[in-house]
Amino acid sequence: MRRRYSAFVKQFALLLAVVFIGTLFNTQSTFAATYRMKIQSGFPRGDLSMELLKVFAESADKRSNGQLQIKVFAEPEIIPGDQLFNATKQGVLDMVQAMGGYWAGVLPIGNAEFNLPLAFRIDEESTFEGKAAAIRKFVMTSGYIEILRKEYAKHGFYFLDIHTYGPVPFVLSTKPVKTCSDLKGMKIKADGINRMFHSGVGMVAVDLPPTEAYMSLKLGTVDAAEWDVSCVTGMKWHEVAPYWIRGMESDHTLGHILVSMKKWNKLPDNLKKVMHEAAEEYWYATVAGYKAEVATVEAMFKTGEVKEAVLDQACQKMYAEAAHKIWQDLSAEDPASAELINLVKKWRGNQ
């Protein structure tokens, strides 16, 4: 009896050892797996949000102990900007960093996500970081990001996280302005839904690539142009259009990182967590980066390289009316956009 019991114990111990070793082997194999991924920005080298993607890649590498190797590319190093959505969806790229307005023709919620005029004016906060923190808290806790993830998932993407481009639209003009009467008839290089925004106060919106804006401003083909703060710090438009028109911009405008759903689903949970942490670190890098860029431009007031042109209250009111008309139109066109906009209205008290 003792011999049988002893044999049984030995066999059971052997079985436990085999199971333990097998489990350990599988765990180590999973941990040791390396995932190589490519992300391309929708913006060229020199754009601040593109350059800061190195923070995202380095953070993912460090947090994963080398398991996540993310290689960063600028537009158009792998794919031209107008092909990024389909290329990432089809797996040519693993991730894309851009903004929702780029895909609004396919995914209407893109305009409400990125380019909803005056959506993020946070007057109760006095600092750049405070305004950013309030927006991030709203996006992450109100149901806003869940709506975006649901809509992007329909097209084969995982909506990873947001980042900021600072104040947009950032408008430079060749002449001083103060009222909407001054703006009326002025030609402005504008993108996406902001064409309707500026047209709503009497400006004439012109479709023009940012690479052509400097010469167009210089030659008088357009009187004003919009981008983000890098139109000064990177593209030097202020040399030919020194007046920074203020009063119609959001405090922060949001971009995103999208991951191919096929690639996302292949990642183990621990690396998905790492991706989220790295993307959040990228968010804070863009907040700090754009704050510094805006401060650089504001310092240029003292030298006269940039001149401030603040719109009067009547003109700001006209812009607000144009913005709310756009909110109504987007809500009527797309149910998901209506959900997103209703959350913003509830948060900001704009019923």
Domain ranges of the chain: 29-166+254-296, 170-250+303-348
Fold (topology level) of 170-250+303-348 = D-Maltodextrin-Binding Protein; domain 2 (3.40.190)
Give the residues of the chain that fall short of pLDDT 50.
18-19, 21, 23-31, 351
pLDDT at site 53:
98
pTM: predicted TM-score of the whole model, two decimal places: 0.86
Same fold, 29-166+254-296 and 170-250+303-348: yes
pLDDT at site 29:
43
pLDDT at site 210:
83
pLDDT at site 18:
44
Three-state SS for the chain is CHHHHHHHHHHHHHHHHHHHHHHHHHHHHHHHCCEEEEEEECCCCCCHHHHCHHHHHHHHHHHCCCCEEEEEECCCCCCCHHHHHHHHHHCCCCEEEECHHHHCCCCCHHHHHHCCCCCCCCCCCCCHHHHHHHHHHHHHHCCHHHHHHHHHHCCCEEEEEEEECCCECEEEECCCCCCHHHHCCCEEECCCCHHHHHHCCCCEEECCCHHHHHHHHHHCCCCEEEECCHHHHCCCHHHCCCEEEECCCECCCEEEEEEEHHHHHHCCHHHHHHHHHHHHHHHHHHHHHHHHHHHHHHHHHHHCCCEEEECCHHHHHHHHHHHHHHHHHHHHHCHHHHHHHHHHHHHHCCC
pLDDT at site 78:
95
The CATH number of the structural domain formed by 29-166+254-296 is 3.40.190.170
